[in-house]
Amino acid sequence: MPERALEGVKVLDLTHHISGPYCTKLLADFGAEVLKIERPGGDPARRMAPFLHDEADPEKSLVFAYLNTNKQSVTLNLKTDKGIQVLKSLVKKSDVLVENFSPRVMASLELDFESLQQINPGLVMTSISNFGQTGPYRDYKAADIVEYAMGGLMYISGAYDREPLKHAFNQAQFKAGTDAAAATLMATYHQRLTGEGQQVDVSIQEAVATGLRDVVNNFTYSGAVRRRQPNHSGDLSRLRASADGHLIPNPGIGAGLNWNTMVEFLDLPELADEKFDSPSARLVNAEELGRILDEYFIKQNKYERFYAAHEKRFIFGVVQSPEEVMADPQFEARNYFVDICHPELGTLKYPGAPFEMSGTPWEARAAAPSLGQHNQEVFGQRLGHSSEQLVQMRALQII
């Protein structure tokens, strides 16, 4: 069996919902030993839809199942003195602690970085929050759409004649989780070199804002404000309906591709007219151009056009349904989707590694844990609590 990239790295996971669990999932999937600390009622993500067969059960959330592979789970009530004491004993033997509470929470529990560093000077503490640990917004609540808006990305998304849009699902949360995992690894590398720990402060708003790139530069240097793009019918990269779905005929005109080459490929001699032979002419006659293209593509099979276009080295894409994604030969050739067996969910397909490593590959070693599945192993065997003590702790709702 290949060595795991993060073998021997011990991570305490105090996260919930999406951004934090995705960070620790990345660490766990590449070999870190991740211990998920859940409140006695469990991570709220256990109650997030969709559920298998629409059965609202904390062990059947597909969101939770995806975000928590390869982790162990214990329950611990951090609102009790005993719970705090147990957590601190785990901190002594850990390399990393990841949390995504509101900035005030860890300090209110006397679990802020300065306090934990006294217990373990080499601890890397990664904190993910809506707006970061400092600044006037630090205690504000937010949702994914708020982060998109406040980060500036929504302003340039969508058509200029419509309201701004955001991507589906919780992309801001996943982006922050990815950034947090990368930053945690950098801090852990420094820890290995020097023995020193540090706090990593991840702002979801800033994680979104890093995607602005040239937008910020253009405004800084020239005062230009990029707006949402026009969606006129003659736009060559516009989404087009086909006979069996939608495709994106983005041919790359102006980037080394001659207009006549495109006309020949589509076999549309009417587009060879001088009213379409330059960018300015196509803009003036956009409505007519759009009508011709729409009438053409609605009769086409999207995959036939896709493969034919790439034989010519054109930039074409197809809009794939979930079923088509699962059957995509590119994903299949790279073994991207993997089967994971879960005791409650059965065997399901999961998205695989976000990148490949030849020497220390990603591995789906275990399904997401049930709530408190490892209480006996961690509190009993690792920390030395007796069975009677565990029964008492359970009765007092400490675990």
CATH number at residue 353: 3.40.50.10540
Q: What percent of the chain has pLDDT over 70?
A: 95
Asked whether residue 98 falls in the same domain as residue 196, the answer is yes
pLDDT at 253: 59
Write down which residue in 250, 283, 318 finishes a domain: 318
Asked whether residue 143 falls in the same domain as residue 279, the answer is no
| Dist. CA 225–CA 216, nearest whole Å | 9
214-252 confidence digits (pLDDT tens) = 777 777 777 776 676 666 667 777 889 999 999 998 766
139-194 confidence digits (pLDDT tens) = 999 999 999 999 988 888 887 788 988 888 999 999 999 999 999 999 999 999 99
Residue 259's pLDDT band (cuts 50, 70, 90) = confident
Please state whether the peptide bond connecting residue 329 to the residue before it is cis, i.e. omega within 30 degrees of 0: no
| Dist. CA 375–CA 73, nearest whole Å | 7
Residue 131's pLDDT band (cuts 50, 70, 90) = very high
Between 58-67, 95-104, 166-175, the lowest mean confidence (pLDDT) is in 166-175
What residue numbers bound the domain in which 307 lies?
A: 240-318
Q: What is the pLDDT averaged over residues 79-108?
A: 97
- Asked if residue 324 is part of any domain, the answer here is no
**347 pLDDT more than 50:** yes
**316 pLDDT more than 70:** yes
Q: What is the pLDDT averaged over residues 34-49?
A: 97
Asked whether residue 38 falls in the same domain as residue 169, the answer is yes
Cα angle, residue 240 at apex, residues 235 and 245 outer, rounded to 5°: 165
- Asked if residue 223 is part of any domain, the answer here is no
Asked whether residue 44 falls in the same domain as residue 183, the answer is yes
Q: What is the pLDDT averaged over residues 316-322?
A: 95
Question: Closest by alpha carbon to 4, among 41, 29, 24?
Answer: 29
> Total structural domains in the chain?
2
291-311 confidence digits (pLDDT tens) = 999 999 999 999 999 999 999
Question: Closest by alpha carbon to 78, among 41, 133, 130, 52?
Answer: 41
